Amino acid sequence: MDGLIRKLRGAFGTAVTWAAAWVVLTFPLSSIQWLLDDSFLRFSYWSSVGLGAAVAAASGFLAGGVFSIAVAGFGRHRRLEDLSTARMALLGAAAAAVVPVVLVALDQTGTLGLFLPEGWDLVLDWGGAALMGGVLAALGGATAGGLIRIAKSADREPLPPGE
């Protein structure tokens, strides 16, 4: 049971890390989009950028969770040193590409509107999902590759036993 709780805690931590990283990475992009896209000007800056941050956080959380599950399956019984950074980046890209599929499914069932502020209408079709999937795949690959590199470069001192 302790092993399962440790794995769930690790998956949750990975998902939160991805969510935070994606918010930080997409904040400047949301700001630029607010300035350049006339349809966003009808909303306040913080409302628009806040929604962008919320979407980035939710997408990053979902993609990070999928990535964590995928690493648990594909990286089973391997040490960190044995994991290829390039392969983990590809796995992160694939995990992130799942997010638009989920969004289209939520949109087509009408569930997505429950998560949006009043006045916002996010209609995502398969063409938009493909474009978003490409962007998120790049973001997911960079996040996964970066996290694996950071983990590999960390101090090698063993952790003290848990309580």
Residue-wise pLDDT tens for the chain (163 aa)? 677 788 888 889 999 999 999 999 888 887 787 777 766 666 677 777 787 788 889 889 999 999 998 888 887 778 888 888 899 999 999 999 988 888 777 777 777 666 666 666 666 677 777 888 888 899 999 999 998 888 888 776 665 665 5
- Please, what is the Cα angle at 106 between 103 and 109, to 5 degrees? 150
Are 70 and 77 within 8 A, CB to CB?
no
What integer pLDDT is reported at residue 40 of this predicted model?
A: 60
Closest residue by Cα to residue 15 from 72, 54, 68: 68
* d(C-alpha 90, C-alpha 145), whole Å: 8
Q: What is the pLDDT of residue 17?
A: 92
Q: How far apart are CA 80 and CA 10, in angstroms?
A: 14
- The pLDDT score that the predictor gives to residue 59 is 87
Is 64 in contact with 14 (CB distance < 8 Å)? Answer: yes
Orientation angle between helical segments 45-74 and 85-109, nearest 10 degrees: 120
Look up residue 25 and give its amino acid.
L
What gap in Å lies between CA 56 and CA 24, rounded to an integer? 9
pLDDT digits (tens, 9 = 90+) for 11-35: 899 999 999 999 998 888 877 877 7
Q: How far is CA 89 from CA 2, 27, 92, in A?
A: 29, 22, 5
